[in-house]
Structure 1
Amino acid sequence: MISGNIITLNEEKNIFDCITSMKKVCDEIIVVDSGSSDNTIKIAEELGAQVIKQPYLGDGIQKNVALKYAKHDWVLSLDADERLTQKMIDSIKKINLNQSPYDAYSFRRQNMIGSRWIKHCGWYPDRCIRLYNSKKTRFANVKQHAKVETKNIKDINADIIHYSFRNIGELFAKPGRNFSGRAAKIMYAKGKRANVFSPFTHGLNAFIRKYIFQRGFLGGVDGFTVSLSSAVNSYLKYAKLLEYQRDTSVTEQDDFNNIW
């Protein structure tokens, strides 16, 4: 028996398909919502999910909230924009979790832009642990890029689908709006500092890593676009960090006690 776990904020466009996908292997779904103002909660409840309202605490901490309410030891955690493929559903059903010697199972992840599967730039197989025994492990209690903490893992050769971005415009808009600004605030709060060359060198390194070493050049236009987006994100992160150092009026505008 498996408990499903989803964290949400204004995911009315995704939550129906995510829960429907998870219900094929989970006998309960727990949605931890951080203040949705759309129909996310209504849709989730209509599908039979238990909704827990919790202001956002950061990635790993938020994902662990559901463990206090889960009926089962084994937990399947997906983001709202992720889905199980039929092959993944079949693979999970074949596992005897009651006698499993493993703490967790890892999945491959297909990251998408629109309906296009991005196979290069480090976007595939992009293995991630999403099915785990909560009595033995859980997500790290960190606020960013949390992972399940265990080395006793079994790899499943099946995929989940991640609808990462609806289009190229969103690919470029999200780094500027969310990721780079948050990362810059975290770095500044931790005492990290940049110099005038940092934005350029980090941006260039990000592009080279994605396009050359992670073979983005094999992905045509999408490979180049993803590599360029990574460069822009890295450039903006260090440019914003440098701005905090150079311009006290900007630093005073931001609340560093409310990064999340």
Structure 2
Amino acid sequence: MEPITGVIITLNEERHIEACIESLKQVCSSIIVVDSCSGDRTRELAEKAGARVVIQKYLGDGPQKNVGPDLAETPWVLSLDADERLSPEMAAEIKALNLSESPVPAYGFPRKNYIGSRWIRHSGWYPDVCVRLYDHTKVRWKDVRMHSYVEARDFRRLNGSIIHYSYRGVGELFRKADSYSNAIAKNLYQRGKRAGALSPFCHGLTAFFKHYVVKGGFLDGVDGMTVSISAAVNSYLKYAKLLEFQRDPEILKNEDFSEVW
């Protein structure tokens, strides 16, 4: 089996980091943790679990995820977030690959996203295919600071899933909507995007319809409704905050735009 380097980016992930490293050890010969100056025991636990830890102040999603591969001694890299794991099927498929003669530079996997212990099967949350195993000498994470992805036009999708423990519960799902929407609103404002008076309502309603109806959220019962409402709230807040930046100089003055991801 061709050697693979596992790469994880972290910030205060003491709850997840050991299990993530153990998961990667199923297929990786070495593991690099790129830590964004955590204030908890993330680094200590990662080193104890056998990973090499590199300290790097957060550069944004794409640039940060390219730090580890640039330090890897193997061409093939498997990238996971700290709250992700390899399913047994995914590990078995990777072990069966002949990466030294791979016809493609990257492989993608469906991702199972969870709220608590509940796998959300619809609502736009599955299959959520992510390219995570790749030859970093040929492809890289896109150099953007939000919502980056591996730029691989030619990749092969495998069947084994990434397990993603997205949120501990419904409360965390909605709490994160505030921070996510704030970061995105700032990013939009800096890029010169502007919102109209009806933008928050229209985007929020569209997001709900997309997740609940078009992407089958109604098939997930109460969880589908919850996910769809969360998507609507996130979208509504994003444009409401963008509109606020445009309309209220005092709010704009008090916001920190020095690090917008």
Q: Measure how far apart 1:191 and its partner are.
A: 1.0
Match of 1:11 in 2: 13
Match of 1:192 in 2: 193
Matches within 5 A, 1:168-183: 168-176=170-178, 178-183=179-184
Give the SS at the match of 2:6: strand
- Cα deviation, 1:203-258, whole Å, max 9, x if unaligned, reads 00000000000010111000000000000000000000011011101000112122
> 2-side partners of 1:166 and 1:237: how far apart?
23
Choose from 63, 82, 85 the match for 1:83: 85
- Cα deviation, 1:3-62, whole Å, max 9, x if unaligned, reads 000000000000011000001100100000001000000000001111110000011110
Q: TM-score, normalised by structure 2?
A: 0.98
> Which amino acid letter does the alignment assign opposite residue 219 of structure 2?
L
> 2-side partners of 1:191 and 1:198: how far apart?
15
- Which stretches in structure 2 are left out of the alignment for 5+ residues? none
> 1-side partners of 2:216 and 2:46: how far apart?
39
- Which stretches in structure 1 are left out of the alignment for 5+ residues? none
> Which amino acid letter does the alignment assign opposite residue 160 of structure 2?
A
> 2-side partners of 1:18 and 1:67: how far apart?
17
Give the SS at the match of 2:160: strand
Give the SS at the match of 2:148: coil
Match of 1:213 in 2: 214
> 1-side partners of 2:55 and 2:170: how far apart?
32
> 2-side partners of 1:222 and 1:216: how far apart?
8
Matches within 5 A, 1:206-245: 206-245=207-246
Choose from 116, 119, 125 the match for 1:117: 119
Match of 1:29 in 2: 31
> 2-side partners of 1:127 and 1:160: how far apart?
9
> 2-side partners of 1:11 and 1:83: how far apart?
14
> Which amino acid letter does the alignment assign opposite residue 139 of structure 2?
T
The answer to whether residue 137 in structure 2 is matched with residue 135 in structure 1 is yes
- Cα deviation, 1:134-188, whole Å, max 9, x if unaligned, reads 1110111110111111111111011010000000000000011x21000000111
> Which amino acid letter does the alignment assign opposite residue 10 of structure 1?
N
Aligned-residue RMSD, C-alpha: 0.7
Match of 1:151 in 2: 153
Which range moved further: 143-152 or 5-14?
A: 143-152
> 2-side partners of 1:197 and 1:134: how far apart?
44
> 2-side partners of 1:129 and 1:190: how far apart?
27
- Cα deviation, 1:185-204, whole Å, max 9, x if unaligned, reads 01111111111101000000
> Which amino acid letter does the alignment assign opposite residue 86 of structure 1?
P
Q: Measure how far apart 1:68 and its partner are.
A: 2.3
Give the SS at the match of 2:202: helix
Q: How many residues align?
A: 259
Query: Percent identity between the aligned chains?
Result: 56
> 1-side partners of 2:59 and 2:259: how far apart?
10
> 1-side partners of 2:152 and 2:173: how far apart?
31
Match of 2:165 in 1: 163
> 2-side partners of 1:235 and 1:61: how far apart?
28
- Cα deviation, 1:96-115, whole Å, max 9, x if unaligned, reads 11111111000010000000
> 2-side partners of 1:140 and 1:191: how far apart?
21
Choose from 100, 103, 114 the match for 1:101: 103
Give the SS at the match of 2:13: coil
